[in-house]
Structure 1
Amino acid sequence: MRKLVYIFISLLIFNSCKKEKEIQQKALQSKIVWESYDEVEDLESTKKLSQERMHLKLVNSKVLDKNDIWSTLESELDYFSEEDYGRLKPFVLEQDIPSIQKSIKEGKLSYEELTKFYIYRIRKYESDNSLSLNSVISLNPDVVKQARVLDKVDKKNIEVNSIYGMPIMLKDNIGTKDMLTTAGAIALQNNRTDNAFITKRLLEENALILGKANLSEWAYFLCVGCPVGYSAIGGQTLNPYGRMIFESGGSSSGSGAVVAANFCVAAIGTETSGSILSPSSQNSIVGLKPTIGLLSRSGIVPISSTLDTPGPMTKSIIDNAILLNAMIGKDPEDATSVSTDTDFIISIKDSIIEGKRFGVIKSLLQDSVYVKAINKIKIAGGEIIEVEPGQPSLPGFLSILNIDMKNDLPEYIRRNSTDTISIKTVEDIIAFNLQDTLVRIPYGQGIFEGIVKDSTTTEGLKKIKEDLKVTARKYFDSQIDQHNLDVVLSINNYHAGYAAVAKYPALTVPMGYTNKGEPKGLTFIGKPFSEDKLLQLGLWYESISKERKIPVNYN
């Protein structure tokens, strides 16, 4: 009898060890390593593109080893296999937040599994040189542990329209305590900060900060005519709908790409003039540039305290509203910040199209994708009014950005950066970059040099700001008021400059694709603090158009 017990115990131990060995073998098989490659062929292919700005000098960063992005999370993936990834795919890929939350409530996946799914997917694609997008700069080393904590609650009490447990990516100019905030620049490579106000709001709502997305360096306010989506830290962000063929849009390039490729539930971008609208349109996602002041800017690397704003970038309107709800709140550190009682999730449910009046810009009717979208709106009951607002110039626009950045960047560094950052001014950064131009500024720093040269006075700048605000508001209001319009419809970021200086909100929604497969967005522009109306109309358009399609190689 004792011998039988011994044999039984031995078999148990043997089977247990065998099973453990099989798990370890699977874990070793799932280890994926990124290796650098000869980029010459890829770079030569971009020289054939008609758009000179797409003639790339490099693909991957010269200072970031991609393996370092996920190295601290490798152990968390030891027991997460391709099998697990495949099992979870139907519950995650292209799903909106309410659908994911519903699956979690039903026990089909957990917040931990959801987080691991995205980390695994990022590593899977970003380590493959034929598919990588260079869209991620860093991952939160504690995000899986944080997800486990959130899994301990009773899921029945979680609202489906909640950001709770949702892995979110932040553009890498938005402050995070757990990760560096670089703005894509080597000068800020070791920039340790506290959480930005909007980061704190997301964490208060129990969102998971998955990581930091690549961007156009210094929010595309560094070099003249350089590729959008390039940064010295992250390399060249690529468009999942056409790698090294279509632009990724800028400057929230990485935020657009990570959402489009399903590397996260949603992302946050920032815009001064077109930097949310452009990458959202180029990546066939929903992007909202809010009214200046609706979302706080404190803790975000600035271009212009006059025009900067963060905003949500998502695969759907409902996710956009959920993310916006999570970030609103009056910030005493931001003089433009306002409070609002609007619940954007509730407000978009009242989406009615009949009788809504859409201003259609005549000069854009040569665009077949735009015309197709207008026809859908018309057939569904929307009233189409063709408008001709003209195209007034915006003299002095660049000086707003130059002088604001000259003043706002040193203030940001003073308030947010630690002693590890030695640069204090734009002049310091120019000098720093000149120490190694090939690595730090392969496309030059012409805009930074222009900032230093701009001698606009305080009084002169004040007049420029006021004059442009009047011009831009007249540009929109002359049509909105005359024709009693609910919204003006544009394409991509075509009218982002006017919306910027007018301080008007704009929302872009996937509109379709060109014959070559390049995405385009239908952009809704309205008066200040009309985000609820824009989201209502965007939801309605989304429901009749259903134009977003997952990139072919990322399904």
Structure 2
Amino acid sequence: MQYKLITSKVLDKKAIQKSIKKQIKGFTSEDYETLKPLIYEQDIPTIQNHIQQGSLTYKMLVQWYLYRINKFEFEPNTSLHTIIAINPNAVADAEARDLSRSSDDHGIFGMPILLKDNINAQGMPTTAGAIALKDNYAEDAFIVKQMKNKGAIILGKVNLSEWAYFFCSGCPVGYSAIGGQTLNPYGRTIYETGGSSAGSGTSMAANYAAAAIGTETSGSILSPSSQNSVVGLKPTIGLLSRSGIVPISSTLDTPGPMTRNVIDNAIVLSAMVGKDAQDSYTSLSFNEKDYTQNLEELDLVGLRLGANKSFMNNVPLYADIMVALQKMGAEVFGYEPTKVDLDGFLSILNIDMRNDLPEYLTNHAGPKVQVRSVKDVMIFNQKDMDTRAPYDQELFAGIIADETTDDELKEIISNGQAAARAFFDVPMEKFELDAITSINNYDASRAAIAYYPALTIPMGYQEDGEPMNLTIIAPSLSEEKLLKIGYVIEQATKLRVPPELGK
């Protein structure tokens, strides 16, 4: 795999490391090794149990993750170019949590969370990977406020594909001018990270935090979760607020949790939900509940899953897990998928971003941000293309050139939604399925425009070691069912293996 650039030309890694070292002063390598069995690859309920028993504190937890980031991210032979900002008050926040904890705390209380750097977080810039936004210090996004209100600790920001991979054409996923090239811990420069939530996926695989938040328009949570062998949920559009998040498309955008296991995913999802007056979609799809409740109640016996016959015939890992689940009692129904043409899909992204980005820049960006439109960003970048846009900005040019009218856009969305829903609904109704199964982000665009949630969980590793995930899709607002299905499959198969990094 050939990259033009690996290391960012503009990111001050020394300043990030200085902030970390200040916060881990007195935390030793012995402390790191002693606490490792309590934290490394452990789920959130287990970590919370250690804290309740007194063998761990929130301060120790935060310092352990910061120590680990410092241990790997600043060494040329191990850096994933994943961390691009650190909360300078993370340890102080943890100390406050240690003083205020109670038996009624939400599961996310005291947990260090990393954010994809298109999500606003007070005290750190929100860049979307773009130099034009390097001084974008803004107020917390709605979902960040929701997590903080329940006691979460925002540990820092992670790299991403610049402008959520809707900027350059044919450029490598996980690259941004701010953060450089994100690398996959299962094979640095060997396997792609997936995008655009590249850093959210790599940071979870590398055990840099308890959980991470990504965003998806069409595959941007599912792809990096799959490439890094972690669990990612793309929720129903509108279940989670998008205000305070750098947009591509108000029609299709959504944030979502990325974690190492399903129960953590349910905890983080539960912490983010809420009606937001600034995002009208949340009033349509809002479904507040604790997604961890009764997570274990589903049994594999009798579970009805749809299996794409083409995948069964051509992807050994997919065929293997389908056979294994069948042997454990699930009912697997093979089906021939119908062809779906999502004509005009690109125009949804083009027209939405042309309209939605100025709205974000006007209402949610910090006061130092000067650009106000896609065209402004392009003009800014043209002053130093080698640094600001080394892979060019072809997709931004396409946004400006798109002449789709409002009426044509409505028709594209309506036709696309009907076709995409039929793609899933026909086999679901024919075989009375609980869910459709897929691979990685293979059906991401159809799930996106259908407004169907998708959960992806580790499925194993190809012969060369590259991770691959099983993706489960069901109709709108089926998150509770998807998490239960994902949980029972995860517990029955236990296919995730952490990368060699730091074992």
Q: 2: distance between equivalents of 1:253 and 1:76?
A: 26
Q: Does 1:449 align with 2:397?
A: yes
Following the alignment from structure 2 to structure 1, what is the Cα–Cα distance between the partners of residues 146 and 101?
22
Aligned mates of 1:327, 1:128 — CA distance in 2: 34
Alignment gaps of 5+ in structure 1: 1-45, 47-54
**Aligned counterpart, 2:186:** 241
Tell me which residue corresponds to 2:459: 511
User: Which position in structure 2 is the counterpart of 1:548?
Assistant: 496
Match for residue 173 of structure 1?
A: 118
Q: Distance in 2 between matches of 1:283 and 1:226?
A: 19
Aligned residue type for 2:244? G
Larger displacement relative to structure 2 (140-149 or 338-347):
338-347
In structure 2, the residue matched to 1:84 is 31
Q: Secondary structure of 2:302's partner?
A: coil
Offset, 1:534: 0.5
SS in 2 for 1:263: coil
Q: Which residue of 2 aligns with 1:264?
A: 209
In 1, Cα distance between equivalents of 2:366 and 2:43: 38
Which residue of 2 is the match for residue 42 of structure 1? none
* Matched length: 500
**Distance in 1 of aligned mates of 2:457 and 2:222:** 9
**Aligned with residue 383 of structure 2, among 430, 435, 438:** 435
Note the 1:283-294 alignment, pairs <5 A. 283-294=228-239
2:257 to 304, 312, 321: 312
Match of 2:59 among 92, 112, 129: 112
Contact 1:324 1:344 (C-alpha < 8 Å) held by counterparts: yes
**Residue 25 of structure 1 aligns with which residue?**
none
Contact 2:20 2:70 in 1 (8 A): no
Deviations 1:302-336 (A, max 9, x none): 00000000000000100000001101111111011
Aligned to 2:418: 470
Q: Residue in 1 aligned with 2:437?
A: 489
**Which AA in structure 1 matches 2:380?**
F
Equivalences for residues 337-356 of structure 1 within 5 A? 337-338=282-283, 339-356=286-303
Seen in structure 2, the aligned counterparts of structure 1 residues 475 and 95 have a Cα distance that, compared at 3 Å, is: same
What amino acid is the match of 1:320? N
- SS at structure 1 position matched to 2:100: coil
AA at the equivalent of 2:437:
L
Q: How far did 1:158 drift?
A: 5.5
The aligned amino acid for 2:337 is P
Match of 2:486 in 1: 538
Q: Which residue of 2 aligns with 1:377?
A: 325
Q: Aligned equivalents of 2:388 and 2:365: distance in 1?
A: 20
SS state at 1:133 partner? coil
SS of the equivalent of 1:427 reads helix
What is the letter of the counterpart of residue 425 of structure 1? Answer: S
Pairwise CA distance, 1:420: 0.8
Q: Distance in 1 between matches of 2:294 and 2:17?
A: 39
Corresponding residue for 1:392? 340
TM-score (norm. length: structure 2): 0.98
Q: Relative to structure 1, is the Cα distance of residues 413 and 90 closer, same or farther in structure 2, using a 3 angstrom cutoff? A: same
The CA distance in 1 between the partners of 2:8 and 2:250, in whole Å, is 30
3-state SS in 1 of match to 2:334: strand
> What's the RMSD between the two structures over aligned residues?
1.0
1:298 aligns with 2:246: no
2:13 is aligned to: 66
Task: Report matched runs for 1:126-137 at 5 Å.
Answer: 126-137=73-84
| Residues 1:142 and 2:89 are matched in the alignment | yes
> How far apart, CA to CA, are the structure 1 residues paired with 2:501 and 2:359?
43
Contact kept? 2:454, 2:482, Cα under 8 Å: yes
- Corresponding residue for residue 502 of structure 1: 450
Partner of 2:30, secondary structure, is helix
Structure 2: state its 5+ residue gaps: none
| Whole-Å separation in 2 of the counterparts to 1:232 and 1:427 | 18
Please report the TM-score for the alignment, with normalisation by the length of structure 1: 0.89
| Residue 408 of structure 1, aligned match among 342, 353, 356 | 356
Match of 1:192 among 130, 137, 158: 137
Of 71, 75, 93, 2:22 maps to 75
Whichever of the two has the greater Rg, that structure is 1
| Corresponding residue SS for 1:146 | helix
Letter in 2 for 1:213: V
Deviation at 1:389, TM superposition (A): 1.6
Structure 1 ranges of 4+ moved more than 3 A: none
Listed one character per residue, the Cα deviations across residues 63-115 of structure 1 (whole Å, up to 9, x for unaligned) are 01212223223222221111111111000000000110111111111100100
3-state SS of the aligned residue for 2:397?
Answer: helix
Match of 2:109 in 1: 164
Deviation at 1:154, TM superposition (A): 5.2
